[in-house]
Structure 1
Amino acid sequence: MLDADLNLLIALDALLADGSVVGAARRIGLSASAMSRTLTRLREATGDPLLVRAGRQMVLTPYAEAIRERTRNVVDEARAVLQPVRTELDLSTLRRTFTIRANDGFVEAFGSRLIAAATAAAPHVCLRFTPKLDKTSTHLRDGSADLEIGVLGEMGPEVRLQALFKDRFVGVVRAGHPLEVEGRVTAQRYVAFGHVVASRRGNSRGPVDEALAALGLERTIVAVVPSFPAALAVARTSDLIALVPASFLGIAAGHHEGVGRDGAYAFELPVATEKITVSQMWHPRLEVEPAHRWLRQLVLSVCRRQWPL
């Protein structure tokens, strides 16, 4: 038997993931005092403070930051080794909550179909959607998310990636808006009205503005809101133009002007912009895990049925 107490790895993983003695204790079901004693043992074992006080909070030392992902992978591997061998996945008895990071637009466009498909195959599975406030692999690395869905950002080379579908942006105005009455939206008429932009980070400019600038035109940004549903809500009750993904409106490829929903009118942009690739991303430790493979295939099939790649 090894001299090292491998139970310390479980506590170390919790401490590095939470960055708090109290939070780590809650995470693995220990008292705060027991976790504090365990932290002392970990400091003795590693020769590093691991957590140090910064004001009223605790922060990880550089060494703790460096071993955080490695510790998580070791713990996950150990748990996988000690789990019963399963040759087949029984979806009828699978009890699990999958956490999926996705923006509101994806949930509105695909959420109901994805939930229905999951429930039909695995009635005891729960899909928990959480918002994407940033593009980072942190949630995949620390295990707080099983899947991330969106446009690839700075996710790191180890993150696995699978393209789901190609999307494009369309303009949206309220029903009865002058642009709907006119029928065809030119670039000049497009910039004649105010615009509402959806951005989590508060950015107001993007590829559409670059394409307009090439024509010597510029749109007037009147408002910036945090999500596509919010942008659509503003456009539906004003004369402003919103810019939203076609998938959010359920507009299939090949459909153009006149397609709308809930009192809104959608039209193709008068300038050319590149399509965007929406992908699902996951950590490699879940690559061959049967339940996770099933989830990925489910997401892929639901998206591909509705939208082509």
Structure 2
Amino acid sequence: MQSVDLNLLVALDALLAERSVTAAARRLGLSPSAMSRTLARLRLATGDQLLVQAGRALVPTPYAEELSGRVPALARDAQAVLRPPAGRLDLASLERTFTLRAGEGFVDLLSAPLVAAVTRAAPRVRLRFAPKPDKDAQPLRDGSIDLEIGVVGRSAPEVRTQLLFRDSFIGACRVGHPLPSGEGVTPERYAACHHVVASRRGEAWGPVDEALAQLDLERTVVLVVPAYTNALQVARHSDLVALVPRSCLGNAVTGDRAADLGLQGFELPVRTPEITISAQWHPRMDGDPAHRWLRQTIATVCRGAYP
């Protein structure tokens, strides 16, 4: 079997059906010379002439006649085995549980509209959000999670990515906090506040500190918490100032969500790098129709929330 080329099976099917090198070549999108070479390879592989000249036509040998009833089905089966299914995905009957890994901000803001969109199209599909302690790609590789949502890590170059939306950092403080009022938020007034920082790794230093350092300023971080939702709760009930992605307040610096949380957002007085939020998956899921549908649904929900 080391020398078997299944393309020869498809070519043999065309040759036996057309009984013409030129017609078989046209059927497969090849040149006549390429088809002639393929016929020569078939003769070598089978040890039979298969098609021989009879005047201006080609006629099958007895062995080719014997094969003519078997080859079409074999060719179809070989192509079916080696080609992903092209049938339409039946979402109404799809029963599947997808495991997603995302940060608490995504779960808080977008899990509800995502579940609504999924349930409308595929009522038997279930979503499970797994904890996101780090950016380790091994769960994508071993299949314990189907999709990761967040900032792309560097540990798995083979992982596929799709941009969902772009985010940025803003400040957040309780309603009535003196910082956003009066003189406005200057680098000096911002740095003079006491701050709460969210970091899974317990780190207090970040991009905003680098920007402040260029102005010879330093903020005082008095509390480090593991999640942005924790930082917002602390800011809501104290005079500490939180640093969170804009999406944590509904993609608006001011608005109903911020007011509902008892918070007000404000633009930072220094520039920080943009945050790119992407969907990430292992390449073995590229051709899976249900997985592709889920990726498209998530992208649509994100575009609606963060156009």
CA offset at residue 256 of structure 1? 6.2
Partner amino acid for 1:233?
A: Q
Q: Is the 8 A contact 1:257 1:267 kept in 2?
A: no
Looking at structure 1, the residues matched to 139 and 91 of structure 2 have their Cα atoms a distance apart, in angstroms, of 25
- 1:29-51: per-residue Cα shift (whole Å, max 9, x none)? xxxxxxxxxxxxxxxxxxxxxxx
* Alignment partner, residue 102 of structure 2: 102
Match of 1:221 in 2: 221
* Cα distance in structure 2, aligned partners of 1:183 and 1:292: 51
Structure-2 residue corresponding to 1:174: 174
Unaligned runs of 5+ in 1: 1-79
Cα deviation digits, residues 45-91 of structure 1 (max 9, x gap): xxxxxxxxxxxxxxxxxxxxxxxxxxxxxxxxxxx969x95611111
Q: Is the 8 A contact 1:136 1:154 kept in 2?
A: no
Provide closer, same or farther for how the CA distance between residues 259 and 110 of structure 1 changes in structure 2, counting only shifts above 3 A.
closer
Question: In the alignment, residue 196 of structure 2 is paired with which amino acid?
Answer: V
**Counterpart in 2 of 1:45?**
none
Name the counterpart of 1:299. Answer: 298
- The CA deviation string for residues 166-200 of structure 1, in whole angstroms up to 9 with x for no partner, is 00011000111111433721111101111000011
Residue 118 of structure 1 and its aligned partner are, at CA, apart by 0.5
Q: Secondary structure at the match of 1:224?
A: strand
Q: What residue number does 1:193 align with?
A: 193
Aligned to 1:179, what secondary structure does the other structure show?
Answer: coil
* Separation (CA, whole Å) in 2 of partners of 1:155 and 1:128: 24
- Give how far 1:259 is off: 7.8
| Runs of 4+ with deviation above 2 angstroms | 180-183, 255-261
Partner of 1:150: 150
Instruction: Return the alpha-carbon distance in structure 1 between the equivalents of residues 155 and 89 of structure 2.
Output: 29
2:106 alignment partner AA: F
Q: Deviations over 1:254-284 (max 9, x none)?
A: x569982310010000001121100000000
Distance in 2 between the 1:178 and 1:106 partners? 29
Which residue pairs with 2:139 in the alignment? 139
Which residue number corresponds to residue 61 of structure 1? none
Aligned residues: 228
Deviation at 1:251, TM superposition (A): 2.2
Q: Which residue identity does 1:277 align to in structure 2?
A: T
Q: Alpha-carbon deviation of 1:203?
A: 1.0
After TM superposition, the structure 1 = structure 2 runs for residues 1-309 of structure 1, keeping only pairs within 5 Å, are: 85=85, 87-182=87-182, 184-252=184-252, 260-261=258-259, 262-308=261-307
Indicate how the Cα distance of structure 1 residues 276 and 294 shifts in structure 2: closer, same or farther if over 3 A, else same: same
Query: Is the CA contact 1:259–1:267 (under 8 Å) kept in the aligned structure 2?
Result: no
Partner of 1:49: none
Contact 1:169–1:244 under 8 Å retained in 2? yes
Helix, strand or coil: the match of 2:114? helix
List per-residue Cα deviations over 1:96-153 (Å, max 9, x = no partner). 1100000101111211111110111111111111121011110100000000000011
Q: Percent identity?
A: 58
Measured in 2, the distance between the counterparts of 1:208 and 1:235 equals 17
Letter in 1 for 2:275: I
Partner residue in 2 for 1:36:
none
RMSD: 2.3
Residues 98 and 145, structure 2, Cα contact 8 Å, conserved in 1: yes
Contact preservation (8 Å) 1:258, 1:267: no
CA distance in 2, matches of 1:297, 1:126: 16
| Aligned AA (1:269) | L
CA contact 2:251–2:306 (8 Å) conserved in 1: no
Distance in 2, Cα, partners of 1:259 & 1:207: 26
Over residues 197-239 of structure 1, what are the superposed CA-to-partner deviations in whole Å (9 max), with x where a residue is unaligned?
0011111111100000000000001000000100000000000
Structure 1 residue matching 2:293: 3-state secondary structure: helix
- Larger displacement relative to structure 2 (84-93 or 170-179): 84-93
- Provide the C-alpha distance between the structure 1 equivalents of 2:140 and 2:81, rounded to a whole number of angstroms: 21
